[in-house]
Amino acid sequence: MRAHDWQATPLGPPDTWPMTLRTMVRVVLSSNHPMLIWWGDDLIQLYNDSYRQILGHERHPSALGQPGRVCWAEAWDLIGAEIEHIMAGGPGAWYDDRLIPLTRHGRREDLWWNYGCSPIEDEEGVRGVLVIVNDVTHNHLLRQRLEQTPFFGRQPRRCATAGPAMIGSGRQAPPVARPGLKKVAVKQLRPGMYVEQLCCSWIDTPFWQSSFLIESAAQLERIATSRAAEAWIDTERGLDVDPAPGASATTPAAARAPDDTVFRFRPAPRATLDDELGRAAVLLDQSKRALFDMFNEARMGCAVEVRDAMPMVESIAASVLRNPGALIGLARLKTADNYTYMHSVAVCALMIALARQLGLDDHLARELGLAGLLHDVGKMAVPAEVLNKPGSLTEDEFCVVRSHPAQGHAMLLASPGVGPVALEVCLHHHERPDGRGYPHQLSGDELGLYARMGAVCDVYDAITSNRPYKAGWCPADSLRRMAEWARAGQFDEAVFAAFVKCLGIYPVGTLVRLQSGRLGVVAEQPCGKSLLLPKIKVFFSTRARAYIRPELIDLGAPGARDAIVGCENAADWGLRDIDRYWLGDGVVKAS
């Protein structure tokens, strides 16, 4: 596409193209997904190398710069109305397994497609359409053949590659009852069976996917090393147990209570910070690995498996419910190498905590947690050298980075099961109530609650974390600055006020000075007490300018006489590694 003579097309030379088009072209060229753009009233066509195979030699390279109606004349009666509707201001759409016959490789073929269409907008309105498309003809025909056998009845899952185990706390919820599900002993498993779920904690599952086909003895050996004694199998997608005497199989209806139609998080008794830190550290480490796999699959063009992400969200929620300071505080201590993944986990935790503070139900809190986990998936389309650049970005590089919400939105549209909450947060978490955000400069009532929540959580974790180009700010100082930005119209003030109540005025890890002249770090925000009275681990005397024996002080305890005077900068006192005073031994043991 870079070598094409655009001067001869209605678009003219690339240096005259609108910034919106140039930005979207960079997004398309940096993606491994087959993608194309139809731009302007003539729907002039641009596409990347991955899309060339779909075109076939009959259309490439002549399709570059050609009107979409001309290039795809034989299919326009099937797809044209959808594209014209989007250009007229209609919403985007996603289509699964759709039959669109085409002439390709010299013959007319019946072809099946998964594709999504999204409007490309700027201040002038809808300027074009971004299309992500996958040829799924092979999968469709394979499924037809498999349906002729007694063992399989559904399309194989996409991107079902094994990866590192994810982690969670507590047992996974049993699958929703449906025909074909059975609970069996692990020793009854054999190749050809389809495992819907292993009956063990998420931390103990040896596979990235919660559901998978057993294809080898090696998989059985990995299952045997887990702590699962039983498993749910789906006999409509794989083999049943041997009908040998004594073989036991339990249907879901007999094995568990009737399914509750209203989702609720499992009860999570309140834990102290010290008790929760060890579990939170392990959860963060394994979640980071699982997200690396998930985002890497998204980078390679695979759909995000929402069903596999939900156990991670529920495990993060359980940690937040036990003690939000542990996971949120630990996630702040990220490095440049793992920033994107740890940031996603942190925003997931913050969204769940904020949802609970706002009084939203557990089902919506879980959806918001998933939205936080996936909000930055579009960064997988941004080159690493730009994403991790230690210096200032050029204008072109900044445009590429600013494309990540739209790119992520397109990826999630291509992923079955992603709901409207995650789509809204992904696309609009950089929008601002004052209209100065991106990509669509929404303002006021145009910006929904979920996007407003995402904006607050995203910014807080970003500014409190160390980045390649700056050190993270103190948590309390970050809240103070965000309060100023909220008053200036960058955040919803009501949402921000609820956010402060989640974390406390002095979040875990804040360095404070007490009236007694001692310095300490906030070690815990006790539940149900004043935001001004956290627990402090004191370790330094400002009067003697010397370290003292560390001591935990509860400012909210009866008879407590000390109080916080203000926040301090560790560098001003020559203090290093102050986080060790609130981390305690739990994290060391977990590592």
Residue 571 domain boundaries: 511-590
Indicate the number of domains in the chain: 4
Same domain, 328 and 448: yes
Share of the chain above pLDDT 70, in %: 85
pLDDT at 482 over 90: yes
Same domain, 168 and 251: yes
Same domain, 227 and 332: no
Beta sheet of 181-185, edge-to-edge order: 181-185, 230-234, 194-198, 212-213
100: left (phi over 0), alpha (psi -120 to 50) or beta: beta
Q: Has residue 389 been placed in a domain?
A: yes
pLDDT at 522: 93
Same domain, 372 and 463: yes
For the chain, helix (H) and strand (E) counts, in that order, are 21, 16
pLDDT at 376: 94
Same domain, 525 and 416: no
Cα–chain center distance at 311: 13
Beta sheet of 93-99, edge-to-edge order: 44-47, 35-39, 125-135, 112-122, 93-99
pLDDT greater at residue 359 or residue 334: 359
**pTM exceeds 0.75:** no
**Beta carbons of 188 and 241 less than 8 angstroms apart:** yes
Same domain, 491 and 518: no
pLDDT at 150 over 50: no
Where is the domain boundary, 114, 139, 164? 139
pLDDT greater at residue 172 or residue 89: 89
Least confident of 71-85, 129-143, 566-580: 129-143
pLDDT at 156 over 70: no
pLDDT at 96 over 90: no
CATH number of the structural domain spanning residue 314: 1.10.3210.10
**Beta carbons of 485 and 552 less than 8 angstroms apart:** no
Same domain, 49 and 118: yes
pLDDT at 247: 39
Where is the domain boundary, 229, 255, 281? 255
**Beta carbons of 327 and 316 less than 8 angstroms apart:** yes
Q: Minimal CA–CA distance to 331: which of 342, 339, 318, 321?
A: 342
Q: How many CB atoms lie within 10 A of CB 566?
A: 9
Same domain, 15 and 123: yes
pLDDT at 151 over 70: no
pLDDT at 172 over 60: no
Per-residue CA distances from 127 to 16, 236, 288, 326, 529 (Å): 15, 46, 38, 46, 53
pLDDT at 402 over 80: yes
Where is the domain boundary, 201, 225, 255? 255
Joined together, the tokens standing for residue 561 give 């006489």
Q: What is the pLDDT of residues 403-447, one digit of tens each?
A: 999 989 988 988 888 888 999 999 999 999 999 999 989 998 888
pLDDT at 252: 37
Residue found by looking up tokens 């002549």 in the block? 62
Give the mean model confidence (pLDDT) for residues 193-205: 73
pLDDT at 257: 37
Q: Measured at the alpha carbon of residue 179, what is the angle toward residues 174 and 183, in degrees to the nearest 5?
A: 45
For residue 406, which amino acid is it? A
Q: Has residue 238 been placed in a domain?
A: yes
Segment (H or E) for 349: helix 339-357
